[in-house]
């Protein structure tokens, strides 16, 4: 219930100043000549919540007005702010009727804000309510906001005076229990998060056992929190279980495993007594705790023995009966205590008995869809939750929601849930539930993460909406409008439009999304598209432009821009995932090769950028070919513009005018020197032959281009045209000094290239979302293009949609992925393009690859030194391949799903140490049973028979076949290489890649044949006398080289073109000193190439012209 009586509502904004005419009857809190005092009764302790409330009020008013009010302990007769409760403050008690705080049925958190004569009462039924009265006054009357924790989330408008005429606010919170389930907090202390929760009127703070230090507890109690001990805490230490092995839960295989997270035998009297004693000890050791929230270990290995099953026919009934017994035992020594639990996993459905005397049972909301209206009857996924909650309510249990929306995805991702959150709190209230808490790490955790990659920041608007909606019945639109007005003020419109656009896209997308730790790739293309991404990014461009136009205060502009940048980066995370899933990521990054000088011949050997696209991501008919190179001083571009009307285009080239060139048929370059800063440079050149007209400008991030900007070092552009070839060409050179870029190997910047057309659609690279920095490509300057073969992987899964999350994870770690392939023809084409790794998923039915394909193409692929990883159950390996040692599949008869043995070696430790993953992780469910010849890499135990491998390998030619029953990221959940641990799969593949490179070498030495001398034009890396490479001759099919090495050992010599495409290689053993080597290749008649020697201790390369 909320009642307000006060003057016309203020307009919310960043620097809004509330100005009310000072009448004779106005109560002056602060003006230029006087200020009120803050009165807190002397009967309360200095560490009380009332004193904390007074300090919070004084802090805000001081920051708002520059005036610090005095806190006094004796009531006066002049203007004063009275903070307190009827029980502790005589002035509040004397006015309790007017304050609506009299009587025994007043809610403990009822607040009253009332101006009466010279008094401003900020009062409540309890000290916590008095604190909330202070926050209500600050928010509702003085327009203060705490949108997220920390200083950056605090918005306190400046005022010269605070006066009050008529003011009366009376409120009771919508929900009784309002909290967050904070996880991953160091030592249980997160003061910024605590403060934010208190300021937004959340009333319960959780602790784990061992985190309840006195200082933190007292600080939280001062902020009005009820202290809740929580965690999966109904466990006993391993020493106790070893002393009493029957206390551990009996498993289906007849064992009682003992670990720190073992489930217990709830029906065992000894367990019941031990748990009761443990809880009693918690009460004794933590006198400031208000609530003990207890629930079992986070696994479903529940006890199966007769003592437990006698407690009930299902896990939930057993848990409630066990809890009744334990609470009754604790009550004998610690009566009238408060207890919570969860309805979770096996004990989530309603029990078939009266529940234990829990004050609150948090229903773990795994089955509600985050896309549709909360608990919508049209949403089939919500029927389970509705049915189970209703079942609990028939047991007269005080229920609440324990949510997961803030960990919806494996990665922190922004999702627009303001509407969903407000609906959730209204549904909780209207359906008789009493509270809410949802899981999230504290603000700024992890500390090492960028702001756009923390769960709090990506959920900050949703968290604020949840806090507001837990307190009162507030609309989603009012929260959204208030949020954007507060942060962005005069430039709020485009940012609010951004939110509403992405919110509509999210809610209108197809399919359901529920539970937690979903892969973002599963959703990205459901609500995003190329054109939608461009539209959303354009709001950031408009907002940045508006900041330049309308905000003259530099400090304020910086603050607003920082929030635009954060929102932009959070959206870019989605855009990046979208590009991965749609296999467009290759368009958004490129490497530029260094050359000693720019000449026309160099362009013949450089691979062009991807084709130019229109606004819908489609290649345009008249293309633009762009090649780039760099020298120690400049960036060079060679651009060929195909144009069927080139004669008229060149003839009608515009005059030399800054406003005309970008409107003409021209090329634009947009260069952002620092990806963390939205500022960028704009260059344009038109099609005028020989000496084209040029344009250059600078912007702070929007589209207000400073055309007066002139590069510190001049840039050049030369054009030519050919009516025969229907092209016009421009060669551009831009000194790095004019961009503020220090050019060196691995220097990075961001870039977009646009082709403007006077009579047809514009096009560009990496896409056509011009002037929107999230769509710029990452450009890296390199001294050499490393052979990309080792970063290429083929995922063959016959188009399985479960491939997207693992495909994205590979791309995040810089793999070039080919996926979505089905059938022999398609796979054969990709094998011809070559890759380091081929993953093959064996389906339960309908496998489209024949034994002939395996015995020829797949075997040939492996034999030349590649790795094939074949995964699935019951793979007919001996049918598909020929000549392999036999093996069979072991069905699902695993015991504990733990690794019992594993082979040492690089596959396990290099470059990624997976020892702990293999040693302690959950294994797949099945095994293979091999005969002699297979190498077992990792074994697991079985209920029947000897331990057998779930991961094994066999050498074929120079390559490696790996076989596993793991799902390798396609599914498998919390299995060690399941889809909950995608990175483990990628790391395993990376280990096999290096293991293969380190293990297989073909010895080869060749005498030199007749040769012709060629030119070595540039060394790409340091080469000394003891380690050198000299190309003596080259034919179309072989390169003759002299290789000098300081020590004997295995090596590889590879040859690539300048774009990194591998043209030939040889693996061999090099003797110390000089070696004559022939490298089989396939070269064109003329070109620039790179030869590279790779040894264990040193890599060295040269460029050469053939």
pLDDT tens for 620-667 read: 999 999 999 999 999 999 999 999 988 887 776 655 556 677 777 899
Average pLDDT value over all residues in the chain: 89
List phi, psi (to 5°) of 607. Answer: -75, 130
State the CATH number of the domain containing residue 1020: 2.60.40.2550
* Same domain flag for 868 and 823: yes
Q: What is the pLDDT of residue 787?
A: 55
Cis ω on the peptide bond leading into residue 380 (within 30° of 0)? no
125 lies in the same domain as 60: yes
Report the pLDDT value the prediction gives residue 1006, as an integer from 0 to 100: 24
> Are both 745 and 805 inside the same structural domain?
no
In a domain? residue 581: no
DSSP-derived secondary structure for 51-91: HHHHHHHHHHHHHHHS-PPPEESS--SSSEEEEE-TTT-HH
Residue 894 token pair: 């695993």
Q: How many domains does the chain have?
A: 4
pLDDT tens per residue, range 1034-1062: 777 888 888 888 888 788 898 887 666 78
- The confidence score (pLDDT) of residue 7 equals 39
The closest alpha carbon to 96, from 85, 104, 88, 107, belongs to 85
Residue at a domain's end among 999, 1027, 1055: 999
Distance between CA atoms of residues 965 and 958, nearest Å: 24
Q: Say if residues 995 and 836 touch (Cβ distance below 8 Å).
A: no
* Domain co-membership, 678 together with 817: no
CA atoms within 13 A on the CB side of 420: 23
**pLDDT tens sequence across 754-804:** 999 877 889 999 999 999 999 999 999 999 876 556 788 999 999 998 999
Instruction: Write the pLDDT tens digit of every residue in 28-38.
Output: 999 999 999 99
User: How sure is the predictor about 1085, in pLDDT bands with cuts at 50, 70 and 90?
Assistant: low
Most confident of 1-10, 277-286, 648-657: 277-286
901 bridge partner residues: 939
CATH number at residue 751: 2.60.40.1190
Domain endpoint, select from 172, 198, 233: 172
Residue pair 81/122 in contact (Cβ under 8 Å)? The answer is yes
874 and 984 assigned to the same domain? yes
CATH of the domain at 50: 3.30.379.10
Residue 1087 has pLDDT above 90, yes or no: no
Strand partners, 292: 229, 339
* CB neighbourhood size of 180 (10 A): 25
What would the mean pLDDT of 299-325 be, rounded to a whole number? Answer: 97
Does one domain contain both 765 and 799?
no
How buried is 444 (Cβ within 10 angstroms: 0-12 exposed, 13-18 middle, 19+ buried)? middle
Lowest-confidence segment of 52-66, 723-737, 937-951, 1074-1088 by average pLDDT? 1074-1088
Task: Enter the tokens of residue 277.
Answer: 């004693």
Same domain, 902 and 985: yes
Residues 457 and 412: beta-carbon distance below 8 Å = yes
Task: Give the residue numbers spanning the domain of 927.
Answer: 790-999
Residue 772 shares a structural domain with residue 798:
no
Regarding whether 696 and 822 lie in a shared domain, the answer is: no
Torsion of CA 9, 15, 21, 22, to 10 degrees: 110
Last residue of a domain, one of 119, 148, 172: 172
Sign of the CA dihedral with 1088 first, then 1093, 1098, and 1099 last: positive
Digit-coded pLDDT (tens) for 982-1032: 999 999 999 999 887 654 332 222 222 222 333 333 333 334 456 788 887
* DSSP H or E run through 120: strand 119-124
């Amino acid at each position: 219930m909320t009642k307000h009586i006060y003057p016309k509502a203020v307009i919310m904004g960043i620097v809004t100043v509330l100005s009310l005419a000072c009448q004779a009857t106005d109560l002056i809190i602060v003006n230029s000549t006087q200020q009120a005092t803050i009165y807190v009764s002397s009967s309360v302790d200095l560490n009380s919540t009332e004193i904390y409330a007074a300090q919070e009020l004084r802090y805000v008013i001081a920051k708002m007005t520059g005036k610090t009010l005095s806190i006094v302990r004796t009531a006066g007769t002049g203007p004063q702010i009275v903070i307190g409760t009827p029980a502790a403050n005589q002035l509040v008690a004397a006015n309790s009727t007017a304050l609506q705080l009299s009587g025994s049925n007043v809610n403990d958190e009822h607040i009253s804000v009332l101006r009466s004569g010279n008094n401003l009462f900020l009062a409540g039924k309890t000290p916590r309510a008095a604190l909330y009265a202070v926050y209500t006054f600050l928010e509702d009357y003085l327009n203060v906001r705490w949108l997220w924790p920390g200083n950056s989330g605090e918005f306190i408008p400046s005022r010269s005076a605070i006066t009050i005429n008529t003011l009366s606010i009376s409120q009771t919170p919508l929900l009784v229990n309002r909290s967050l389930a904070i996880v991953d907090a160091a030592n249980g202390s997160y003061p910024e998060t605590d403060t934010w929760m208190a300021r937004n009127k959340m009333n319960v703070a959780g602790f784990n056992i061992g985190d309840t230090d006195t200082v933190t507890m007292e600080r939280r109690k001062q902020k009005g929190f009820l202290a809740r001990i929580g965690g999966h805490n109904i466990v006993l230490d391993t020493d106790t279980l070893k002393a009493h092995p029957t206390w551990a839960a009996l498993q289906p295989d007849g064992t009682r495993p003992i670990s720190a997270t073992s489930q217990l035998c709830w029906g065992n009297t000894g367990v019941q007594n031990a748990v009761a004693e443990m809880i009693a000890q918690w009460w004794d050791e933590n006198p400031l705790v208000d609530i003990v929230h207890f629930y079992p270990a986070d696994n479903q290995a529940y006890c199966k023995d007769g003592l437990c099953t006698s407690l009930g026919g299902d896990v939930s009934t057993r848990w409630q009966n066990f809890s009744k017994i334990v609470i009754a035992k604790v009550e004998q020594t610690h009566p009238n205590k408060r207890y919570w639990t969860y309805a979770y996993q096996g004990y989530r459905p309603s029990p078939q008995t009266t529940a234990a005397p829990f004050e609150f049972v948090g229903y773990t909301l795994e089955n509600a869809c985050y896309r549709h209206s909360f608990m919508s009857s049209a949403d089939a996924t919500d029927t389970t939750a509705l049915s189970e909650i209703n079942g609990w309510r028939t047991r007269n249990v005080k229920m609440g929601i324990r949510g997961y929306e803030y960990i919806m995805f494996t990665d922190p991702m922004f999702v627009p849930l303001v509407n969903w959150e407000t609906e959730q709190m209204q549904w909780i209230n209207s359906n008789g539930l009493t509270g809410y808490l949802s899981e999230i790490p504290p603000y700024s955790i992890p500390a090492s993460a960028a702001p756009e990659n923390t769960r709090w920041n990506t959920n900050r608007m949703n968290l604020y909406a949840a806090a507001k909606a837990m307190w009162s019945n507030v609309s989603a639109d009012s929260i959204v409008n208030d949020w954007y007005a507060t942060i962005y003020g005069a430039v709020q419109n485009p940012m609010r439009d951004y939110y509403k656009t992405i919110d509509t896209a999210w809610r209108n997308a197809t399919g359901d999304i529920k539970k937690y730790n979903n892969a973002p790739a599963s959703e990205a293309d459901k609500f995003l598209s190329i054109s939608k991404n461009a539209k959303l990014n354009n709001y950031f461009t408009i907002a940045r432009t508006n900041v330049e136009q309308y905000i003259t205060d530099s400090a304020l502009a910086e603050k607003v821009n920082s929030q635009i940048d954060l929102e932009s980066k959070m959206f870019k995370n989605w855009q990046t995932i979208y590009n991965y899933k749609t296999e467009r990521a290759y368009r958004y990054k490129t490497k530029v090769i260094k050359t000693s000088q720019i000449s026309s011949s160099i362009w013949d050997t450089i691979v062009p950028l991807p084709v130019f696209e229109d606004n819908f991501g489609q290649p345009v008919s008249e293309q633009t070919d762009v090649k780039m190179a760099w020298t120690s001083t400049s960036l060079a571009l060679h651009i060929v513009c195909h144009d069927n009307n080139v004669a008229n285009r060149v003839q009608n080239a515009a005059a030399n005018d800054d406003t005309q060139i970008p409107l003409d048929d021209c090329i634009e370059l947009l260069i952002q020197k620092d990806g963390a800063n939205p500022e960028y440079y704009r260059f344009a050149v038109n099609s005028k032959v020989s000496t084209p007209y040029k344009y250059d400008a600078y912007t702070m991030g929007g589209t207000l281009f400073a055309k007066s900007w002139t590069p510190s070092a001049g840039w050049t552009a030369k054009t030519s045209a050919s009516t025969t070839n229907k092209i016009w060409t421009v060669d551009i050179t831009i000194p790095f000094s004019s961009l503020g870029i220090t050019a060196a190997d691995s220097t990075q910047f961001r870039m977009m290239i646009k082709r403007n057309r006077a009579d047809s659609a514009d096009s560009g690279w990496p896409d056509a979302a011009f002037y929107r920095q999230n769509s710029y490509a990452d450009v890296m300057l390199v001294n050499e293009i490393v052979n990309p073969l080792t970063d290429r992987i083929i995922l063959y899964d016959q188009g399985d949609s479960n491939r997207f999350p693992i495909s994205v994870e590979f791309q995040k770690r810089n793999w070039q992925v080919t996926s979505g392939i089905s059938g022999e023809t398609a796979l054969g084409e990709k094998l011809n393009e070559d890759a380091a790794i081929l993953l093959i998923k064996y389906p339960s039915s309908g496998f489209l690859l024949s034994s002939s394909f395996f015995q020829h193409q797949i075997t040939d692929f492996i034999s030349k030194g590649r790795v094939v990883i074949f995964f699935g159950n019951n793979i007919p390996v001996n049918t598909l391949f020929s000549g392999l040692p036999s093996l069979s599949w072991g069905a699902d008869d695993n015991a504990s799903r733990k690794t019992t043995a594993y082979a040492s070696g690089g596959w396990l430790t290099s470059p990624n140490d997976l020892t702990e993953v293999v040693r302690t992780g959950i294994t797949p469910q099945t095994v293979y049973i091999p005969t002699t010849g297979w190498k077992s890499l990792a074994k697991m135990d079985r209920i029947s028979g000897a331990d057998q491998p779930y991961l094994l390998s066999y050498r074929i030619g120079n390559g490696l076949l790996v076989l596993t029953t793991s799902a390798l990221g396609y599914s498998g959940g919390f299995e060690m290489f399941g889809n909950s641990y995608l990175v483990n799969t990628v790391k395993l593949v990376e280990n096999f890649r290096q293991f293969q490179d380190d293990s297989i070498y073909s010895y080869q030495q060749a005498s030199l044949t007749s040769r012709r001398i060629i030119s070595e034009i540039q060394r790409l890396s340091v080469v000394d006398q003891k380690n050198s490479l000299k190309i003596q001759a080259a034919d179309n099919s072989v390169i003759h080289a002299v290789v000098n090495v300081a020590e004997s050992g295995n090596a590889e010599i590879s040859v690539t073109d300048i774009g990194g495409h591998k043209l030939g290689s040889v693996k061999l053993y090099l003797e110390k000193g000089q070696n004559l080597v022939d490298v089989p290749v396939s070269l064109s008649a003329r070109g620039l190439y790179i030869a590279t020697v790779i040894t264990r201790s040193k890599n060295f390369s040269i460029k050469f012209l053939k």
